């Protein structure tokens, strides 16, 4: 589908009553969720990558209190963290997308991933299978959440969360920060600092690329950098808002809040260097380095100080 048609359709839906639900149905029929099992397998892989980042930083999820920003439709990562032994996961979303049917569908799909979940956690497949079975056998969504130690809060803004200061070990988001306004990003980082325990960690996986390129193969992952802010407003929409912030700006916003970056990994999608060199970039982006412009995903970890750091 041509990206402009998608953009305009989402713009119309975002203004229509029931537009959010209709957009979800269209995603299931025509969009990235057409192959549900494949989409869930990709989310499990993203969780495994997150586990590797945490392991490399010497952080264990066993017994951890975790906060997820941006639950979305299918809470693969919260369920996987629970299966791995997290004490609890609070997951917040500004829009209440989660449904009971969606949760059961996801849980049934996860059965195929028991071996890989077991492998990354160091637990036996039997333990993971028993934990999953206990959750799947619950009679409804509320019971599933209760039995798994997941607290789902929606609508709730991650920039203003009802949690005690110094109460959470790990805060993470997956494919969320590229969708929040610049000011909201700062609010989220400051709120994270407040809620984290001293020494606690934030981990964000950010797809800072043009999401219209995910289904329109005729454009590059940096196509949106052609447009001035005024022109981009015509193509942007509130159902899938894209802030176009570059990788360095996500790191900077964490640092501005007082978090210390401890790890980062960036990726450049094939063809992006060629695209950026041959297109006219909007004035807003001309001050960025080429490395920053072409970065299409950034994953990073940042730590809250303990107060005992050597100065």
167 scored as a contact of ligand SAM (CB under 6 A): no
Q: Of 192 and 223, which has the nearer Cβ to ligand SAM?
A: 192
72 scored as a contact of ligand SAM (CB under 6 A): yes
Q: Of 58 and 155, which has the nearer Cβ to ligand SAM?
A: 155
Kindly state the tokens that stand for 18: 């029931």
Kindly state the tokens that stand for 90: 């609070």
DSSP 143: H
94 scored as a contact of ligand SAM (CB under 6 A): yes
Q: Of 72 and 200, which has the nearer Cβ to ligand SAM?
A: 72
- CA dihedral defined by 144, 145, 146, 148, rounded to 10 degrees? 80
Q: How many CA atoms lie within 13 A of 22 on its CB side?
A: 11
3-state secondary structure 202-259: EEEEECCCCHHHHCCCCCCCCHHHHCCHHHHHHHCCCCCCCCCCCHHHHHHHHHHHCC
304 scored as a contact of ligand SAM (CB under 6 A): no
Q: Which stretch binds ligand SAM (CB under 6 A): 3-11, 15-23, 48-56, 65-73?
A: 65-73
Q: How far apart are the first and last CA of the chain?
A: 55
150 scored as a contact of ligand SAM (CB under 6 A): no
174 scored as a contact of ligand SAM (CB under 6 A): yes
How many residues in total does the chain contain? 311
Residues 193-232 that bind ligand SAM (CB under 6 A): none
Q: Of 92 and 259, which has the nearer Cβ to ligand SAM?
A: 92
Q: Which residues bind ligand SAM (CB under 6 A)?
A: 69-70, 72, 92-95, 97, 157-159, 174-176, 179-180, 184
């Amino acid at each position: 589908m041509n990206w402009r048609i998608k953009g305009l359709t989402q713009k119309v839906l975002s203004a229509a009553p029931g537009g959010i639900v209709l957009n979800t149905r269209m995603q299931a029929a025509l969009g990235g969720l057409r192959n549900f099992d494949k989409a869930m397998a990709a989310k499990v892989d993203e969780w495994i990558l997150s586990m590797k980042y945490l392991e490399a930083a010497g952080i264990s999820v066993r017994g951890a209190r975790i906060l997820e920003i941006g639950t979305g439709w299918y809470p693969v990562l919260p369920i996987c963290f629970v299966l791995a032994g997290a004490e609890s996961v609070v997951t917040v979303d500004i829009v209440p997308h989660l449904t009971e049917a969606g949760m059961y569908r996801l849980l049934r799909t996860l059965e195929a991933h028991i071996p890989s979940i077991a492998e990354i956690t160091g637990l036996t497949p039997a333990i993971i299978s028993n934990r999953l079975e206990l959750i799947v056998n619950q009679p409804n969504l509320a019971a599933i959440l209760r039995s798994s130690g997941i607290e789902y809060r929606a609508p709730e803004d991650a920039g203003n969360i009802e949690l005690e200061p110094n109460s959470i070990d790990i805060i993470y988001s997956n494919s969320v920060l590229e969708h929040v306004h610049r000011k909201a990003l700062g609010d989220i980082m400051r709120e994270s600092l407040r809620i984290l325990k001293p020494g606690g960690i934030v981990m964000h996986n950010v797809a800072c690329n043009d999401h219209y390129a995910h289904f329109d193969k005729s454009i590059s992952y940096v196509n949106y950098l052609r447009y001035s802010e005024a022109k981009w407003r015509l193509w942007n929409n509130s159902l899938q808002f894209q802030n176009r912030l570059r990788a360095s700006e996500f790191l900077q916003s964490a640092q501005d809040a007082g978090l210390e970056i401890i790890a980062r990994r960036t990726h450049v999608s094939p063809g992006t260097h060629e695209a950026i060199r041959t297109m006219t970039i909007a004035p807003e982006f001309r001050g960025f380095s080429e490395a920053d412009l072409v970065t299409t995903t950034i994953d990073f970890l940042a730590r809250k100080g303990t107060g005992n750091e050597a100065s």
